[in-house]
């Protein structure tokens, strides 16, 4: 089974075989710290391999979602009509959609970049960047989910940086920051994602790097594609409407 299926099995508290079957899956359970961060919310709907994988913390909500979407293709779930139906259903239970995100996974094993301006940062070096308020995406600085590795572009000072943060038992999520406007659209972001991905694949072969962004962030989507990533899944995160 794939690393992704191992992580999904934790997120949905089920067997890995569930993700190889051609049918939608619905379950009720509470997440653990081994789940991905999105999977720890009240509920999540993952569109993967043209199927829906649905988890909530409430059996009545899960049953309602099953009744409404049991025959819905994951390939078309994010169309307006389905999202409107989902929004209306959730409102009946004082719930709402918190976010809808694409997730990318590597499709190839990268090759190391030889360029002295790019430098890896160890887990122990990362905390020194906490004082740099420009960095809001590359690192999380969470003791329970530590940042594991950084990859910076220095010319001669830090101009761009990527980081990988623990996010699940088998997944590290990437974040990136371009700190100098004159580097935008110059390929630096792509090289950072390629480089940090290659290093993770080398040092942690049982870990899957994942990359997420907003559906409307075209530049970020293209960075993932140019860096050798492909669409892994889309995810709808459900939270309480307090």
pLDDT tens figures, 123-177: 999 999 999 999 999 999 999 999 999 999 998 999 999 999 999 999 999 999 9
Residue for token digits 């379950």?
27
User: How confident is the model at residue 115, as a pLDDT?
Assistant: 85
User: How confident is the model at residue 1, as a pLDDT?
Assistant: 52
Confidence of residue 97 (pLDDT cuts 50, 70, 90): very high
Distance, first Cα to last Cα, the chain: 39
Q: How many CB atoms lie within 10 A of CB 117?
A: 14
Mean pLDDT of the chain: 94
For residues 80 and 224, the answer to whether their CB atoms sit within 8 Å is no
User: How confident is the model at residue 42, as a pLDDT?
Assistant: 98
Share of the chain above pLDDT 90, in %: 90
Give me the phi and psi of 203, to 5 degrees please.
-95, -20
Q: How many CB atoms lie within 10 A of CB 168?
A: 24
Distances (CA, A) of 104 to 10, 111, 171: 19, 19, 12
Confidence of residue 186 (pLDDT cuts 50, 70, 90): confident
User: How confident is the model at residue 187, as a pLDDT?
Assistant: 86
Residue 181 has pLDDT above 90, yes or no: no
Confidence of residue 180 (pLDDT cuts 50, 70, 90): confident
Structural domains of the chain sorted by starting position, each given as residue range(s) with its CATH number in brackets:
3-104+235-240 (no CATH), 118-230 (3.40.630.30)
User: Measured between alpha carbons, how far is 190 from 70 in angstroms, rounded to an integer?
Assistant: 39
Residue 53 has pLDDT above 60, yes or no: yes
Confidence of residue 184 (pLDDT cuts 50, 70, 90): confident
Confidence of residue 18 (pLDDT cuts 50, 70, 90): very high
Share of the chain above pLDDT 70, in %: 98
Mean pLDDT of 71-76: 96
Q: Per the structure block, which two tokens stand in for 152?
A: 């910076």
| CB neighbour list of residue 34: distance below 8 Å, 6 or more residues apart | 10, 168, 169
Confidence of residue 242 (pLDDT cuts 50, 70, 90): confident
pLDDT tens figures, 23-33: 999 999 999 99
pTM above 0.95, yes or no: no
């Amino acid at each position: 089974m794939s690393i992704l299926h191992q992580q999904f099995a934790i997120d949905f508290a089920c067997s890995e075989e569930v993700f190889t079957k051609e049918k939608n899956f619905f379950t009720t359970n509470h997440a653990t710290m081994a789940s991905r961060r999105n999977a720890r919310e009240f509920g999540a709907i993952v569109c993967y391999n043209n199927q829906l994988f649905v988890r909530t913390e409430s059996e009545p909500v899960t049953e309602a979602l099953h009744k409404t979407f049991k025959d819905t293709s994951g390939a078309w779930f994010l169309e307006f009509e389905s999202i409107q139906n989902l929004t209306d259903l959730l409102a009946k239970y004082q719930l709402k959609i918190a976010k809808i995100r694409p997730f990318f996974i590597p499709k190839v094993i990268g090759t190391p970049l030889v360029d002295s301006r790019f430098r890896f940062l160890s887990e122990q070096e990362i905390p020194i960047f906490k004082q740099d308020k420009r960095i809001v995406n590359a690192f999380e600085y969470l003791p329970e989910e530590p940042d594991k590795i950084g990859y910076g572009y220095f010319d001669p000072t830090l101009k761009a940086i990527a980081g990988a943060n623990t996010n699940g038992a088998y997944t590290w999520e990437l974040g990136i920051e371009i700190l100098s406007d004159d580097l935008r659209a110059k390929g630096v972001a792509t090289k950072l994602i390629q480089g940090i991905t290659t290093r993770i694949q080398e040092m942690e072969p049982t870990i899957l790097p994942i990359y997420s962004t907003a559906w409307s962030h075209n530049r970020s989507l293209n960075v993932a594609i140019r860096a050798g990533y492909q669409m892994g899944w889309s995810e709808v995160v459900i939270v309480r409407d307090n």
